[in-house]
Chain A
Amino acid sequence: MAEATLTKKDFQSDQIVRWCPGCGDYAILAAIQSVMPNLGVPKEKIVFVSGIGCSSRFPYYMNTYGFHTIHGRAPAIATGLKLSNPDLQVFVVTGDGDGLSIGGNHLLHVLRRNIDVKILLFNNKVYGLTKGQYSPTSDLGFKTKSSPMGSLDQPINPIRIALASEASFVARTYDANIKHMTETFEKAAAHKGSAFIEILQNCVIFNKDVFNDIYERDVRSDHMVHLEEGEPLVFGAESDKGVFLDGFSLKTGSLEAPPAGQLLTHQPNQESPIYANLLAAMEYPQLPLPVGVFRKVPRPGYEAGVQGQIAQARTKQPDDSLQTLFHSGDTWEVK
């Protein structure tokens, strides 16, 4: 209630955290809890809404309002909540199965409507809670108990799905870097409208170290490129390599002896989605994997639109008495 003095501790619930030891979710939880006091939002106005899966246990560990809903439907429930009370700061916690498989439809629609919710999609490329089946982001050929001869499903890229859904804010971060997560979450919270954040997350039991080739400390600077607004796309331990646009394709090269093409400068606020889609298509190992904010554009919010229509209707028809309602249409009197 005295929001000025809130600390990370105020956002920790009294429940024992039950993720597996070593799970990437712990780091994400810590990052979120540390961001909360900086949002300038009173605790009672924060709501975490989740679906089903390991990630979706998240609300139980936050000392805010929380709603652990049903598989895939968190975006739809969060939409109704936000429409009923636009003042709330609503986070949706989901995973690659919950958000992209059973709940793919709702993710598409919450993003295209630009409902002001912050969607945290924990991507570990596997189903955890149901014990290790392949997910929509699992690699082709991924062997699991439900795909003993390898997955035949073409994986999808969450960032490209979000962009195709006309999301106004799209970012990627990773559980191995609390500082990067914290900065990304703060940027997302400050955005007006839907924010979509893919969080690369390590499942230590069913898909252990799946992202290590990308984000381990010793390879990170060579295998990832950090997107910073207005800065060139430069990476490498010595910041000596860049991402260049040559024709329709991207390639990497040294800054000292640049290849043909143009060194890209990051512009997440371009109205056209072409640039963001170009970045979204960058996959490791062909290219370094981009992390940071891909796209951040202003778009009208749905909640304001709804309130605006109600206000407009009230100006046009100020009389909202029941008697007028009952007498609308043809009436007659029996004497």
Chain B
Amino acid sequence: MESATIRFSGDSGDGMQLTGTQFTNTSANFGNDISTFPDFPAEIRAPAGTVPGVSGFQINFSTHDIHTPGDRPNVLVAMNPAALKANVADLEDGGLLLINSDAFTKVNLKKAEYEVNPLEDGSLDRFRLIPMALTELTHRAVEPTGISKKEADRCKNFFALGIMYYLFDRNLELSLTWIDKKFGKVPDIKEANRLALLAGYNFADTTEIFADAYQVPAANLKKGNYRSLTGNQAVAMGFITASKLAGRPLFYGSYPITPASDVLHELARHRHFGVQTFQAEDEIAAVCAAIGAAYGGHLALTGTSGPGICLKAEAINLAVMTELPLVILNVQRAGPSTGMPTKTEQSDLLQAMYGRNGSSPCVVLAPATPGECFTFAIEAFRLATKYMVPVFLLSDGYIANGAEPWRIPNEADLPKFEITYAESQENFQPYSRNNHLARPWAVPGTPGLEHRIGGLEKAHLSGNVSYDPGNHQLMTDYRAMKVRNIREDIPGLEIYGDPEAETLLVGWGGTYGALFTAVQNQNKQGKKVAGAHFRYINPFPANTAEVLARYKRIVVAELNEGQLDFLLKAQFNIQTHTLFKVQGKPFMVREIIDFLNAL
């Protein structure tokens, strides 16, 4: 077997995220390439047994280089009827369906709105159905520890994990070590989880329910040290790295919001790097405190998701006007309004571009993979501090929570960037500009540079308040030119796929894995398709017009109703075919291939 996709699904209290993460880490350690997709409800504990309360974790692991968590699982683990109902439509025909039959009680079937028990009505015949009394088996396995029935119930995820470890010939060592560490202080719970994991493994081994264990050999990844990383972890690590490279402390102003809160948690536990995290009273205070810290000479960051950006818009404009370096992380989720907080979407691009009063140019960046969240966190600060401008970093729920193996970089290979503050001088001009149009970063505390800034239009050079018509034109032009000129300081748009292609598949940000895989797949079929993926959106790379002009047919695919498409049409006057999706779910490779084939 070259690759396999497993989805663990159960109640949000069943520990499916944990089970998925354990399988991921073990497979990554084994040397597979991996890609994951956790999918969970916004409610911490939605009513048990209901479809809205189902939590899932999908992992694709492979002997090859992979770029998506897989379209359709080959194996589905469903811990109750609701999990089956929510997920069975995705399972491939002939796929392995492992079910906890103990959970298929009258009450649970009713909660999941099944009129007939699907284990008995033949509706699952197209799968390799394996019903198992997981609850009962787990209870028996952990009996020697004497823990309560309720506690024993909570071990059944490890029993299921044990089965999967047998089925895919994984080593138990990593998970056993994890259990020892996690439950070290509660010996009976530790022992129970160990027993459940081992029992699951041995049960699968001895009962011969599964004909064979599958082998997914290690992938041929580039040499080096690896770790598994989600986008949220990567972005946090990137910001800390930027702070170390620049030699300036990081300040993070934030207000808890899904799916960005993990960045706050991640940064909060890195205080030994000099990181200050400030949990503000609201989104506005979070960005304002960051602006205050930027004024004070720190690397200033605020992070949130779409609704938070709405609240921050006025303050972001203050950073535009005062030309202070500020990085704004938006882990996009499905909107509008509260929308679907735990689901992914790419619909805040135009908000980043235009969602403020007046002409308000900001730099807009969008990492394409969890790993790129690291590099683009550094890039965001490089550009913000070099050009004295706010920079948006658009991640999304999909890459924020999805994990992939990340090759640990050498420090020497990391980009360098230096920060210079204005030094004491006579006749300081706070709105003078250097050759790339940035104004000086004059930090309070520096003698002789006392000056006033603010949201009112500023006179060129002196920075005094100005209502002069010509000056407003000039300053508006400067702010726009400063951002536009950045295209000379960023890499050009790269093409992948068939060099002779006539069709170009275009996307941006977190959809890269699916789009890249679709192009690869098309090329294998002999189809002349290439791809181009935007990470820099404002400004677009300098060669964008020239690249787009080379193709007869341009297909824009994005998880919104045409926001990149709108920008490309406006700036480059092109015709496009469009594939838009707003379902709170990432693209499936199949959807893209089908669309391309139908053109």
Q: List 5 A-B contacts (CB under 8 A).
A: A45-B444, A80-B290, A82-B292, A316-B272, A330-B227
- Contact for B409 among A108, A326, A331, CB less than 8 A: A326
- A77 touching B288 in the complex, CB below 8 Å, given contacts A15-B464, A322-B411: yes
**Contact mask for chain A residues 40-67; partner B; CB cutoff 8 A; 1 contact, 0 none:** 0011110101001000000110111111
- A80 touching B450 in the complex, CB below 8 Å, given contacts A108-B281, A330-B227: no
B-contacting residues, A155-180, CB 8 Å: none
What are the 10 tightest A-B residue pairs by CB atom distance, in nearest-first order? A80-B292, A68-B454, A84-B296, A80-B289, A76-B288, A81-B292, A313-B271, A66-B452, A76-B285, A77-B292
Judge whether B448 and A44 touch: CB under 8 Å.
Answer: yes
A-contacting residues, B246-280, CB 8 Å: 249, 251, 253, 270-274, 276, 278, 280
Judge whether A332 is part of the interface by a CB distance below 8 angstroms: yes
**Bound-state Cα–Cα, A87 to B300, Å:** 18
Q: Closest Cβ of chain A: how far from B305's Cβ, in Å?
A: 20
**Bound-state Cα–Cα, A64 to B447, Å:** 10
- A106 touching B276 in the complex, CB below 8 Å, given contacts A325-B237, A325-B240, A331-B227: no
Judge whether B225 and A81 touch: CB under 8 Å.
Answer: no
Judge whether A286 is part of the interface by a CB distance below 8 angstroms: no
- Contact for A80 among B225, B237, B278, B318, CB less than 8 A: B278
- Contact for B444 among A44, A76, A109, A314, CB less than 8 A: A44
Q: Which of B29, B284, B414, B465 counts the most chain A CB atoms within 10 A?
A: B284
Judge whether B226 and A81 touch: CB under 8 Å.
Answer: no
Q: Closest Cβ of chain A: how far from B374's Cβ, in Å?
A: 9
Residues of B contacting A306 with CB < 8 Å? 276
A-side residues, CB < 8 A to B, are 1, 13, 15, 42-45, 47, 49, 52, 59-60, 62-70, 73, 76-85, 87-88, 105-106, 108-109, 306, 309-310, 312-314, 316-320, 322-323, 325-327, 329-335
Judge whether B92 is part of the interface by a CB distance below 8 angstroms: no
- Contact for B295 among A77, A108, A109, A330, CB less than 8 A: A77
Q: Closest Cβ of chain B: how far from A34's Cβ, in Å?
A: 18
Residues of A contacting B25 with CB < 8 Å? 330
Residues of A contacting B322 with CB < 8 Å? 67
**Bound-state Cα–Cα, A81 to B288, Å:** 10
- Contact for B411 among A42, A105, A320, A323, CB less than 8 A: A323
Judge whether B444 and A327 touch: CB under 8 Å.
Answer: no
- A331 touching B226 in the complex, CB below 8 Å, given contacts A80-B253, A106-B281, A320-B273: yes
Judge whether B226 and A47 touch: CB under 8 Å.
Answer: no
B-side residues, CB < 8 A to A, are 25, 28-29, 31, 174, 221-228, 237, 240-241, 244, 249, 251, 253, 270-274, 276, 278, 280-282, 284-285, 288-298, 300, 314-315, 318, 322, 408-409, 411, 414, 443-456, 464-465
Q: Which of B223, B296, B300, B409 counts the most chain A CB atoms within 10 A?
A: B296
Q: Closest Cβ of chain B: how far from A93's Cβ, in Å?
A: 12
Residues of B contacting A44 with CB < 8 Å? 444-450
- Contact for B237 among A73, A76, A326, CB less than 8 A: A326
Residues of B contacting A314 with CB < 8 Å? 271-272
Judge whether B315 and A70 touch: CB under 8 Å.
Answer: yes
Judge whether B272 and A313 touch: CB under 8 Å.
Answer: yes
Q: Closest Cβ of chain A: how far from B386's Cβ, in Å?
A: 20
Residues of A contacting B288 with CB < 8 Å? 69-70, 73, 76-77, 79-80, 106
Judge whether B450 and A333 touch: CB under 8 Å.
Answer: no
Please name the residue on chain B nearest to A317 by beta carbon.
B272
Judge whether B284 and A60 touch: CB under 8 Å.
Answer: no
Judge whether B285 and A45 touch: CB under 8 Å.
Answer: no
- Contact for A76 among B271, B289, B443, B452, CB less than 8 A: B289
Judge whether A87 and B226 touch: CB under 8 Å.
Answer: no
Please name the residue on chain A nearest to B455 by beta carbon.
A70
**Bound-state Cα–Cα, A1 to B237, Å:** 40
Judge whether A84 and B411 touch: CB under 8 Å.
Answer: no
**Bound-state Cα–Cα, A222 to B162, Å:** 85
Q: Which of B251, B289, B449 counts the most chain A CB atoms within 10 A?
A: B289
Please name the residue on chain A nearest to B253 by beta carbon.
A80
Judge whether B241 and A331 touch: CB under 8 Å.
Answer: no
Please name the residue on chain A nearest to B290 by beta carbon.
A80
Judge whether B274 and A47 touch: CB under 8 Å.
Answer: no
Residues of B contacting A47 with CB < 8 Å? 444
Residues of B contacting A326 with CB < 8 Å? 227, 237, 408-409
Q: Which of A60, A63, A316, A334 counts the most chain B CB atoms within 10 A?
A: A334
- Contact for B450 among A52, A64, A334, CB less than 8 A: A64
Please name the residue on chain A nearest to B178 by beta carbon.
A330
**Bound-state Cα–Cα, A77 to B444, Å:** 14
Judge whether B450 and A330 touch: CB under 8 Å.
Answer: no
**Bound-state Cα–Cα, A34 to B292, Å:** 27
- A42 touching B447 in the complex, CB below 8 Å, given contacts A79-B285, A313-B271: yes
Judge whether A80 and B227 touch: CB under 8 Å.
Answer: no
Residues of A contacting B276 with CB < 8 Å? 83-84, 306, 310
Please name the residue on chain B nearest to A85 by beta carbon.
B296
- Contact for A84 among B244, B249, B318, B454, CB less than 8 A: B249
Judge whether A73 and B244 touch: CB under 8 Å.
Answer: no
**Bound-state Cα–Cα, A77 to B408, Å:** 37
Q: Closest Cβ of chain B: how far from A53's Cβ, in Å?
A: 13
Judge whether A81 and B281 touch: CB under 8 Å.
Answer: no
**Bound-state Cα–Cα, A314 to B294, Å:** 23
Judge whether A334 and B271 touch: CB under 8 Å.
Answer: no
Q: Closest Cβ of chain B: how far from A318's Cβ, in Å?
A: 7
Q: Closest Cβ of chain B: how far from A277's Cβ, in Å?
A: 23
Residues of A contacting B285 with CB < 8 Å? 73, 76, 79, 105-106, 109
Q: Which of A15, A85, A306, A329 counts the most chain B CB atoms within 10 A?
A: A85
Q: Closest Cβ of chain B: how far from A27's Cβ, in Å?
A: 21
Please name the residue on chain A nearest to B442 by beta carbon.
A65
**Bound-state Cα–Cα, A49 to B115, Å:** 65
Judge whether A310 and B291 touch: CB under 8 Å.
Answer: no
Q: Beyond the given A59-B452, A70-B455, please list 10 additional residue pairs across the A-B interface where CB-CB is below 8 A.
A: A42-B447, A44-B448, A45-B445, A52-B455, A67-B454, A73-B285, A73-B288, A80-B300, A81-B293, A316-B272
- Contact for B293 among A73, A83, A320, CB less than 8 A: A83
Q: Closest Cβ of chain B: how far from A306's Cβ, in Å?
A: 6
- Contact for B291 among A60, A68, A80, A105, CB less than 8 A: A80
- Contact for A334 among B226, B293, B453, CB less than 8 A: B226
Q: Closest Cβ of chain A: how far from B42's Cβ, in Å?
A: 25
Judge whether B455 and A85 touch: CB under 8 Å.
Answer: no
Residues of B contacting A84 with CB < 8 Å? 249, 251, 276, 292-293, 295-298, 300
Q: Closest Cβ of chain A: how far from B321's Cβ, in Å?
A: 10
Judge whether A67 and B225 touch: CB under 8 Å.
Answer: no
Residues of A contacting B291 with CB < 8 Å? 69, 77, 80
**Bound-state Cα–Cα, A45 to B296, Å:** 11
- A325 touching B241 in the complex, CB below 8 Å, given contacts A44-B444, A73-B284, A105-B285: yes
**Bound-state Cα–Cα, A76 to B273, Å:** 24
Residues of B contacting A73 with CB < 8 Å? 284-285, 288, 315
Q: Closest Cβ of chain B: how far from A145's Cβ, in Å?
A: 25
- A332 touching B244 in the complex, CB below 8 Å, given contacts A80-B253, A327-B227: no
Judge whether A334 and B444 touch: CB under 8 Å.
Answer: no
- Contact for A333 among B225, B228, B272, CB less than 8 A: B225
Residues of A contacting B223 with CB < 8 Å? 334-335
Judge whether A66 and B289 touch: CB under 8 Å.
Answer: no
Residues of B contacting A45 with CB < 8 Å? 444-445
Judge whether A1 and B448 touch: CB under 8 Å.
Answer: yes
Please name the residue on chain B nearest to A71 by beta carbon.
B314
Q: Closest Cβ of chain B: how far from A83's Cβ, in Å?
A: 6
Q: Closest Cβ of chain A: how far from B430's Cβ, in Å?
A: 10
**Bound-state Cα–Cα, A87 to B443, Å:** 12
